[in-house]
């Protein structure tokens, strides 16, 4: 597994040393998430579970698995290495991005002049504490750090860091999640022709642009609270030929009229949001959706669909990767979240979509024909074959 070299006009050059370092970090992550993860599961089955059973009973949920395994040497080694590898992801791109900061900002400004899309920021915008005061997934500066006026560097930092983090799994534009799921929706619901699409918590639009490409006749909007991400994302969308309208906005207080979108989409967003805000933003999604519109969130699958061990494995980030809201979200019932937000129980959807990049078009089309979504231990995992989980509802 190697770092995916980005292919768009904002992509930065890499020295040989930077490329070697980044490839090493991707390969190390691949080793941890694939080989070591398989060994750790074996250790759990062979040692930890029988010991827990002998002492009373087997762990019944992810927290109990965590309690049973956390002192085990293998888990401690795995976790220490994984935390270090996570820090190395950001370290491996920091110099590359800082060295080319001026160039990034010039390019972002230049593209803003001729964009077919737009970016609208709000002076004095209040960033929620859950974003502004957290270096989420150990990313120094989080999403919002700015080194000066109109600075977009943190967007480039995220783009290049993600290329290392995802180990080449998401394609040259890192848009595999949006592309796979938009293609799936298009194929399964061929008569559904969205005219207006909204992406919530878009960051730099990795998974917004694919919706614009799948439905080129639609107007596409994307919101986030992080100004540097939006500036960079807008220039990047322009470079990829997608006219997307980016706006600085809090998803819990959408500045759009009732019934103004056909699709309200998000990816990898909800697990970074406190539960109270998730409930609010789902109500907002319901409000701004037109009748017959689709709300859809790509996420990690819920704990209720997984074995205690698989649930524990995915919740690792909540305990060790500065993702404080992750487990609380994964403990929810997606169906209940949708109905509490105002959607009818019989309109709720759950999809498991194979990665287009990994499995190819035929697999996505076959999944679209097949009605039942089967979540298993591999769903949402960045190893050994990827498929994406999404839930939502029709209004
Ligand atoms: C993991 S990133 C999302 C990744 C992105 N959707 C993608 O697919 O590449 C989470 C994003 O949510 C944004 N965010 C967090 N809380 C928000 C809120 N209340 N309203 C809008 N955006 C928010 C953060 O600024 C961050 O950019």
* Architecture in CATH of 172-394: 3-Layer(aba) Sandwich (3.40)
The confidence score (pLDDT) of residue 39 equals: 97
Model confidence over 322-364: pLDDT tens digits?
Answer: 889 999 999 999 999 999 999 999 999 999 999 999 899 999 9
Measure the CA angle with vertex 288, ends 275 and 293; round to 5°. 100
Distance, CA of 56 to CA of 36 (rounded, Å): 28
Best probe residue, ligand 1, of 203, 206, 296, 298 (max atoms within 8 Å of C-beta): 203
Residue ranges covered by each domain of the chain: 16-115+130-164, 172-394
DSSP assignments along 255-312, one per residue: -S-TT-EEEEEEES-GGGS-HHHHHHHHHHHHHHEEEEEEEEEEEPPPGGGS-HHHHH
Distance, CA of 329 to CA of 171 (rounded, Å): 27
Length of the chain: 395
The confidence score (pLDDT) of residue 378 equals: 78
User: For every residue of 102-126, which 3-state class applies, written as one string?
Assistant: HHHHHHHHHHHHHCCCEEECCCCCC
Residue 178 CA: nearest ligand 1 atom is 8
Average pLDDT value for residue range 34-49: 96
Place of tokens 């920091």: 94
Ligand 1 geometric centre to CA of 271 (Å): 9
Distance, CA of 153 to CA of 109 (rounded, Å): 12
Ligand 1 geometric centre to CA of 322 (Å): 15
Ligand 1 geometric centre to CA of 65 (Å): 29
Ligand 1 geometric centre to CA of 203 (Å): 5
The confidence score (pLDDT) of residue 1 equals: 67
Model confidence over 74-87: pLDDT tens digits?
Answer: 999 999 999 999 99
CA nearest neighbour of 268 among 144, 127, 174, 153 = 174
Model confidence over 284-321: pLDDT tens digits?
Answer: 999 999 999 999 999 999 999 999 999 999 999 999 98
Please determine, for residue 204, whether its predicted confidence score (pLDDT) is greater than 70. Answer: yes
Question: Over pLDDT 70: what percentage of the chain?
Answer: 99
The confidence score (pLDDT) of residue 236 equals: 95
Ligand 1 geometric centre to CA of 129 (Å): 13
Please determine, for residue 210, whether its predicted confidence score (pLDDT) is greater than 70. Answer: yes
Ligand 1 geometric centre to CA of 77 (Å): 31
The confidence score (pLDDT) of residue 386 equals: 87
Maximum C-alpha span of the chain:
68
The confidence score (pLDDT) of residue 195 equals: 98
The mean pLDDT of the chain is: 94
What's the pLDDT band for 242 if we cut at 50, 70, 90?
A: very high
Please determine, for residue 379, whether its predicted confidence score (pLDDT) is greater than 80. Answer: yes
Smallest CA separation from ligand 1 atom 3, residue:
269
3-state secondary structure of 349: strand
The confidence score (pLDDT) of residue 193 equals: 97
Smallest CA separation from ligand 1 atom 9, residue:
206
What's the pLDDT band for 11 if we cut at 50, 70, 90?
A: confident
Residue 130 CA: nearest ligand 1 atom is 16
Ligand 1 geometric centre to CA of 155 (Å): 12
Residue 142 CA: nearest ligand 1 atom is 25
Average pLDDT value for residue range 147-168: 93
The confidence score (pLDDT) of residue 21 equals: 96
What's the pLDDT band for 172 if we cut at 50, 70, 90?
A: confident
Ligand 1 geometric centre to CA of 212 (Å): 18
Place of tokens 């519109």: 293
Ligand 1 geometric centre to CA of 319 (Å): 20
Please answer whether residues 283 and 341 qualify as being in contact, where contact means their C-beta atoms are separated by less than 8 angstroms. yes
315's CB contacts (< 8 A; 6+ apart) are: 62, 63, 66, 303, 326, 327, 330
Please answer whether residues 96 and 18 qualify as being in contact, where contact means their C-beta atoms are separated by less than 8 angstroms. yes
Smallest CA separation from ligand 1 atom 6, residue:
202
Handedness of CA 370, 373, 376, 382 (dihedral sign): positive
Stated pTM of the model: 0.96
Q: Which two tokens stand for residue 31?
A: 């080793």
Half-sphere exposure of 318 (CA within 13 A, CB side): 21
Residue 281 CA: nearest ligand 1 atom is 19
Average pLDDT value for residue range 254-279: 98
Q: Which range has the worst mean pLDDT, 171-180, 196-205, 215-224?
A: 171-180
Ligand 1 geometric centre to CA of 198 (Å): 13
Ligand 1 geometric centre to CA of 62 (Å): 26
Best probe residue, ligand 1, of 179, 272, 282, 318 (max atoms within 8 Å of C-beta): 272
The confidence score (pLDDT) of residue 166 equals: 87
The beta strands (E) that lie in 118-195 are given as 118-120
Best probe residue, ligand 1, of 133, 208, 225, 296 (max atoms within 8 Å of C-beta): 225
Please determine, for residue 222, whether its predicted confidence score (pLDDT) is greater than 70. Answer: yes
Task: Tell me which residues have their CB closer than 6 angstroms to ligand 1.
Answer: 128, 131, 143, 201-203, 206-207, 223-226, 229, 250-252, 267-269, 272-273, 277
Report the Cα–Cα distance between both ends of the chain, in Å, rounded: 41
């Amino acid at each position: 597994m190697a770092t995916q070299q980005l292919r768009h006009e904002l992509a930065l050059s890499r020295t040989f040393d930077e490329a070697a370092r980044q490839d090493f970090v991707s390969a190390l992550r691949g080793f941890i998430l694939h080989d070591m993860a398989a060994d750790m599961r074996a250790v759990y089955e062979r040692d930890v579970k029988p010991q827990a059973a002998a002492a009373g009973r087997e762990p019944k949920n992810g927290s109990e698995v965590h309690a049973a395994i956390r002192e085990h040497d293998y888990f401690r080694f795995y976790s220490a290495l994984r935390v270090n590898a996570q820090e190395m992801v950001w370290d491996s791109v920091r110099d590359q991005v800082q060295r080319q900061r001026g160039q990034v900002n010039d390019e972002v400004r230049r593209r803003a002049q001729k964009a077919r899309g737009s970016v609208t920021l709000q002076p004095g915008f209040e960033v929620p504490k859950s974003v502004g005061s957290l270096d989420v997934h150990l990313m120094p500066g989080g999403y919002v750090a700015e080194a000066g006026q109109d600075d977009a560097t943190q967007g480039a930092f995220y783009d290049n860091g993600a290329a290392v983090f995802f180990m080449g799994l998401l394609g040259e534009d890192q848009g595999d999640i949006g592309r796979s799921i938009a293609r799936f929706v298009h194929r399964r619901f061929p008569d559904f022709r969205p005219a207006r699409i909204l992406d919530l918590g878009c960051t730099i639009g990795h998974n917004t642009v694919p919706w614009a490409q799948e439905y080129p006749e639609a107007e596409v909007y994307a919101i986030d609270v992080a100004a540097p991400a939006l500036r960079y994302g807008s220039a990047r969308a322009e470079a990829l030929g997608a006219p997307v309208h980016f706006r600085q906005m809090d998803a819990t207080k959408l500045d759009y009229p009732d019934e103004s979108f056909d699709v309200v989409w998000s990816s990898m967003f909800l697990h970074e949001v406190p539960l109270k805000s998730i409930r609010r933003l789902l109500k907002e999604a319901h409000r701004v959706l037109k009748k017959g519109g689709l709300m859809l969130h790509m996420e990690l699958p819920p704990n209720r669909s997984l074995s205690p061990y698989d649930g524990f494995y995915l919740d690792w980030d909540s305990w060790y990767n500065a993702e404080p809201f992750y487990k609380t979200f994964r403990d929810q019932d997606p169906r209940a979240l949708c109905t509490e937000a105002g959607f009818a129980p019989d309109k709720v959807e759950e999809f498991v979509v194979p990665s287009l990049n990994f499995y190819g078009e035929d697999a996505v089309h076959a999944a679209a024909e097949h009605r039942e979504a089967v979540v298993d231990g591999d769903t949402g995992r960045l190893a050994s074959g990827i498929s994406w989980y999404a839930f939502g509802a029709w209004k």
